[in-house]
Amino acid sequence: MTIDAATLAPRLQAAVGDTLQVGEVLGVGGSAAVFRARDPFLEREVAIKVLDPSLALGSELEEQFLQEARIVAGVEHPHIVPLYDAAVRGGLLYLVMRMLPGQSLADRIRSEGALAPTEAARLAHEVAMALAAAHERGVVHRDIKPENILLDASGHATVTDFGISRVTGRTPREDAGVTSGTPSHMSPEQALGEDVDGRSDVYALGVVLFEMLTGRLPFEGRSLTELMAKIISAPTPQVAKLKPETPSALAALVTRMLAKEREQRPTAAELASLLAEARAPEVMLTPRQAAWKKRKRRLVIAGVALGSAAVVLYGVYRVGVVAFRLFFSSPGQEPTIFADSAMIPPALLAEARAEGALQPDEPVKLVFIPGGRTASDAAFFTDSFVVRRSPNGARRVLLKGAELGVNRAKLPSDTALRGYLIVSRGKTQADTLYDDLGGLDVTRLLMSLYAHRNELGVKDK
């Protein structure tokens, strides 16, 4: 049964009373309609999502709807649409949320087809961070799809409709053996009617990422039964075969996300970290580029080391030599480096600003996260300072006019070579930013810092 928005609008206005002024309908789906509204007291526009009145959910599901809304409202994250209110009034269940200008990811895919891998990875990373925050509070979305991913005016992803699918399914409840959600994005366990957890959301996000990279769904069927059978048992199509130019690391990650067994998928938090690594410019390579890089890697590193000896990397010959030795003696895990301010995840900056590590409008030129560590150990390079986050708090060191250096760590002779990064001002003042960097950390960081040396105001030694 199709929702009659014209009839629903006056009912919704009666339900919300004079607290909101209901305006035009923004969209109608299978189980809900969205209206534009204005809050006259706070003088702001909001969106109201009202569930189909014909669903006849019953008091138990109505309470479940409100309970999940309370939990979702407590999950504050820059990539989750803020929820202002939820109520059951006048026979209607509705949510009041922030009004976002822009379009949905579904609209963008319909108009543009497949997205560039860098853009697809960025959007998936933002959604993964939102899911990780929700899962930490025990909230599973159950219906991740492009229609539920909204793009704000800047093109960043925000997730909406947490918990809606649990109560709007037209089938019996999940614990009766039937699940809810959008069939094309269901995980195998959802298709089988089994209990779901956060890894079901990871699977659905894998479908979305597959769509963004290829412009098509991984599974389609002439009937719901055929579609469910494919999701449960058919081999998963490989992004690398459909789009050979897709970066290898990103294509492999999609395969992990779409694993039939949930135990083989990463959690949302793990996925966010993996996507951050996959987004790094040095990793975002096509298979051909990756093969070329692998063949030439030793020559490039040798060139960097020799160039360092000739005052290429900050004019400190020993930096290049140490980086060279560290690289081959102790590779370590790949670090995460955002060397382009446009590539830095907004949520990462928002988190650092929220804890006071960064000033509200402080521009960040480069972000460095050592291999194997999390964003809580990141270093933010601005035009004047380097801010080093740590579990014990943030440290801010003046960068203008300072000298950066990397030296071999003083470790036992039988220990693999490591390095530490210092910022020095004269012979007596020195701040150690990291005291245990691996070879890849050193090499990649030095190359990035050299490229930004003029912006950062770092002196040559």
Which CATH number is 246's domain given? Answer: 1.10.510.10
Cα torsion 100, 55, 64, 87: sign: positive
143 is catalytic: yes
Same domain, 307 and 448: yes
Residue 362 within a domain: yes
Q: Could you tell me the pTM of the whole model?
A: 0.61
In the set 18, 52, 107, 143, the catalytic residue is 143
User: How far is Cα 9 from Cα 48, in angstroms, rounded to an integer?
Assistant: 11
Q: Tens-of-pLDDT digits for all 461 residues of the chain?
A: 577 888 899 999 999 999 999 999 988 877 788 999 999 999 999 999 998 887 756 777 778 778 878 888 888 888 999 889 989 888 888 999 999 888 899 999 999 999 999 999 999 999 999 999 999 988 899 899 999 999 988 889 999 888 665 554 433 333 333 345 689 999 999 999 888 999 999 999 999 999 999 999 999 999 999 999 999 999 999 999 999 989 988 999 999 999 999 999 999 999 999 999 888 766 666 666 555 555 555 444 444 444 443 333 343 333 333 333 333 344 446 778 877 777 788 888 888 888 888 988 889 988 988 888 888 889 998 888 889 988 778 888 887 666 666 555 444 444 444 566 777 766 556 777 887 777 777 777 777 777 776 666 655 44
User: Which residues have CB under 8 Å from 353's CB, separation 6+?
Assistant: 359, 360, 362
Residue 243 within a domain: yes
Residue 441 within a domain: yes
What is the predicted pLDDT for the residue at 426? 62
Beta strands per DSSP E along 90-156: 92-98, 103-104, 149-151
User: How far is Cα 151 from Cα 100, in angstroms, rounded to an integer?
Assistant: 8
Domain stop point among 252, 279, 306: 279
Residue 461 within a domain: no
Classify burial at 223, counting beta carbons within 10 Å of its beta carbon; exposed 0-12, middle 13-18, buried 19 or more. Answer: exposed
Domain stop point among 228, 252, 279: 279
Same domain, 183 and 253: yes
Same domain, 331 and 444: yes
Classify burial at 114, counting beta carbons within 10 Å of its beta carbon; exposed 0-12, middle 13-18, buried 19 or more. Answer: middle
Residue 156 within a domain: yes
What is the predicted pLDDT for the residue at 209? 98
Residue 92 within a domain: yes
Q: What domain range is 349 assigned to? A: 287-456
Domain stop point among 53, 76, 98: 98
How many beta carbons lie within 10 A of that of residue 259, not counting itself? 18
Same domain, 242 and 111: yes
Same domain, 40 and 154: no
What is the predicted pLDDT for the residue at 289? 58
User: How far is Cα 343 from Cα 364, in angstroms, rounded to an integer?
Assistant: 11
Same domain, 92 and 181: no
Count the domains in the chain: 3
